[in-house]
Each structure stands twice: as C-alpha cells, then as structure tokens.
Amino acid sequence: MERPWKNRSGWVRPSAARATSRLAAALVAASVLLTGCADPEYDTSTPERTLAAMQQMVKDGRTDLLKRVIHIEPRDITFADTVTEASAIEDVIDKTGDLLGRLYRVSRKLKERYPNDMVDEANFATTGGIGMLLGAGVEKTLSEFLKNPFAFIDDQRQRLTVIDMGDGTAALLWDGEPPFGGLGLQMVETRQGWKIDIPVDLPPINRFRPETREEWAVLANMMLAFERSLKHFEDKLDRGEFGSLADASGQAGRMLGESAVVQGLIYSMMKGKGPDESKAGG
C-alpha cells in the first residue's frame, strides 16, 4: 500500500507524484521538439545581411522563407469584406513563399535525375534569367531556369551588390548596374528588417497594380495555380515520365503556361472594367 506524504499543497500519493513528473518530462520533451522544428531565424538588420540571409536560405533549402524579405507597400485601405490591403498583400506573399519552396524542390530533383544535362548557368544569369522566357530560346532558357532558379542569389551572388542610401532605402545593382533594363530595384527598411521592395507604384508596373480585393485575390490564386502546376509536374517527374531535361522543361513550360494564360485572362478582364467598377470598398 502506498504511503502518502505531505507537501505545501496537502497529502500526495507516490503514484500521483510519478504521473505528474512524467507529464512534466513529456511537456519538456515536446517543447524541445517544437523548438527544433521552428523555422530558422536569419539576420536582416542591414541590406548586406539581408542578401547574405537570402543566400543562406537557398543553401539551407528554405526558399519558402524568402517571402520574409519581400515587401509590397500597402495603401491604408479596408475593402468591403473588412479585409485590409495589407492582409491581402500578405496572402499573396505567403503563397509566393509556397511557390518558391516548391520551385526549389523541383530544381533539386531535376539536378539529381538529369545530372549530365548541364546548362550554362553563367550565361543564364548574364542574359537576364527568366526574362529570356519572353524571347527566343524558350526551351533552353526554361531548362536553365528550372535547374537553378536561384542562381542570382546563390552561385552568382558576387554579382549582386547593394548601396545603402542612408534614408531607409538601398539600391540593388547587378554587375554595378540597375537590373531589369535600368528599371532598377531597391530595398526598404521595415520593422521586421530590410526587404526587397516590389515597385508596384512605378511606371510601367503600376498599370498592373491590383486595386481591388478581387484583383489581389486573383494574384494570390495565380501564385497558388503556379505552385499546383509545379506539384503536378513534380509528381510526373517522380514517376520517371520524362526522358531528358529538355522533355521535362517542355512539359513544365506547357503546364506553367496554361496556368499563366488562364489567370492572366481573368486578371486582364478585371483590370479592364474601368475605375468606377474597380474601386475598393470601405
């Protein structure tokens, strides 16, 4: 028979004490496991450290966390369904993170499955990367992009530099020049650290800036559609349905192209409604 003892709370049986100790130990173990599974933290306290953090995210295989360094400045708007533009933008960025994570996994599998189908990654980065998809050599360019979509921040990192302007912004340069044909790209300092600012309010990009809740939702769905297309492509890749990198890239191009066309048509139709029909609620 158990002999209870008394503590400050009263009489305690040994079996109850053992059960309590085991529960405490289990809680400690669970806390350790949960802490171990938490997303890693990266230093984004300066523009240079943010670029280094981005490179480390790629090396760690956590390209989904690149969403942390994407910034789109929201307007002080609340839509008719009480959703703010800031929340709508956050949804788009979250889905972009999912897409980037999927893209990394696909690229790793392509390298493993087709190790001898080499691409000219240096030339790919030099000639503008995915922007080449709009010109000639689409199949070759897509092969290069899919096999190393993050070359600009990983293998070619030394070509990407940043100049702190001292006013809470920093200019990004590629080979010492503004990227995207002189359009340029900058970083901004936020409460969460330095981030790459997507210039949605600058010409000519501002023509395509989402203005309504519905337009932001379509943009979020576009990211989701791309991610699902890549998932479908990844499933085919896992089943060994492609004989070469060129075959795989051609299929990926068709799948991504179909998603882009459908979502692009929906978005274009919405943008063509006119200012009175596209006003935000609230």
Distances 100 to 9, 111, 120, 194 between C-alpha atoms, Å: 55, 17, 22, 19
Q: Report which of 282, 226, 277 is spatially closest to residue 255, judged by C-alpha positions.
A: 226
CB 263 within 8 A of CB 269: no
What is the C-alpha to C-alpha distance for residues 47 and 50, in angstroms, rounded to an integer?
5
The region that residue 244 occupies, defined by phi over 0 for left and psi between -120 and 50 for alpha, beta otherwise, is: beta
Every domain of the chain and the residues it spans: 47-271
Q: Flag residues of the chain having pLDDT under 70.
A: 1-37, 118-143, 273-282
Q: Report which of 97, 142, 137, 109 is spatially closest to residue 255, judged by C-alpha positions.
A: 142
CB 96 within 8 A of CB 87: no
Listing from the earlier edge strand, what are the strands of the sheet with 193-197? 70-71, 193-197, 185-190, 169-174, 160-164
Its pTM surpasses 0.85: no
**What pLDDT digit, counting tens, does each position of 194-209 carry?**
999 998 988 888 888 9
Predicted local distance difference test score (pLDDT) of residue 272: 74
- 143: tokens are 């092969």
**What pLDDT digit, counting tens, does each position of 105-163 carry?**
999 999 889 887 755 444 444 444 444 433 445 555 666 778 788 988 888 889 999 99
Predicted local distance difference test score (pLDDT) of residue 13: 56
- 211: tokens are 């203005």
CB 221 within 8 A of CB 236: no
